Amino acid sequence: MMSYFKEIAVGFWSLLAGMAVTIRYFVKPIVTVQYPRQKIQMSPRYRGYPQFIIDPESGTHRCIACEMCSRICPSQLITVEGVKLPGAKQKVGYHYVHEHQYCSLCGLCVEVCPTTALEFSQSYRLVGYHREDCVIDHMTLLQERQKILGLPPTLILTEAEVEAAKAAEAAAKEAKEKEAKAKAAKPAEKAPAKEVKE
Ligand code: SF4
Ligand code: SF4
């Protein structure tokens, strides 16, 4: 009979202990969020996928298509192409694709970039149903971000424009080489002989 009452007392005590935990957390501030309705503010050190920094002066990216990021990437997942537009001193990137499904977030691409063109995004919605969903076209992504910020979108060059720019670059290079050859072939002019005073 005693054990019966003891069992009831222990059960009642465990019920009270459980309720005490519930009541304690009931009055504490909520730490969970109503995802996906509620957005989360990530830490500044959080690493989403690498993305272009939008230059505050030009309102576009700073990529010069040097390919240093694609060469240093241990997973070889970056494809970058650039072209020198007529009158420009250096190339400009017109195609930048990142296969995020292979990315280890090592940060080498961000660190090596000579123009500080890359940063880690704060995006945490990184799921997809297919591998292709993780392939990021950074030019398209840049345009979307520019639209949100109210900036004019960076024009994506068409194939014809790229070909025309490449042809112009090749022609300019050829002309420069011809000029250099002509200069080298020209005989050095003789300096006038000095008059000898008696
Ligand atoms: S973070 Fe590392 S693995 Fe990811 S793209 Fe950059 S270099 Fe490649
Ligand atoms: S290292 Fe920087 S500038 Fe060079 S291709 Fe990559 S993002 Fe562009």
Task: Work out the pLDDT band at 189, boundaries 50, 70, 90.
Answer: low
Q: To test the ligand 2 pocket, which listed residue (90, 94, 115) has its Cβ within 8 A of the most ligand atoms?
A: 115
Tokens linked to 76: 């070889």
Task: Provide the pLDDT for residue 191.
Answer: 53
Domain ranges of the chain: 50-159
Q: Which atom of ligand 2 is nearest to the CA of 65?
A: 5
pLDDT at 192 over 80: no
Q: Whose CA is nearest to atom 4 of ligand 2?
A: 66
Tell me the sheet residues that pair with 93: 82
pLDDT at 31 over 90: no
Question: How many other β-carbons are positioned within 10 Å of the β-carbon of residue 47?
Answer: 16
Most confident of 1-10, 52-61, 168-177: 52-61
Task: Work out the pLDDT band at 198, boundaries 50, 70, 90.
Answer: very low
Query: What SS3 class is residue 98?
Result: strand
DSSP labels for 39-54?
A: -----TT----EEE--
Q: Whose CA is nearest to atom 3 of ligand 1?
A: 103
Asked if 100 and 136 touch (Cβ cutoff 8 Å), the reply is yes
Q: To test the ligand 1 pocket, which listed residue (46, 70, 73) has its Cβ within 8 A of the most ligand atoms?
A: 73
| Ligand 1 pocket, residue 11 CB under 6 Å | no
State residue 82 phi and psi, 5-degree precision.
-145, 170
Residues sharing a CB contact under 8 Å with residue 35, sequence separation 6 or more, in sequence order: none
Asked if 114 and 122 touch (Cβ cutoff 8 Å), the reply is no
CATH fit for domain 50-159, picks 1.10.10.10, 3.30.70.3270, 2.40.30.10, 3.20.20.140: 3.30.70.3270
Task: Provide the pLDDT for residue 126.
Answer: 86
DSSP labels for 57-94?
A: TTSS-------HHHHH-TT--EEEEEE--TT-SS-EEE
Biggest CA–CA distance in the chain, Å, is: 146
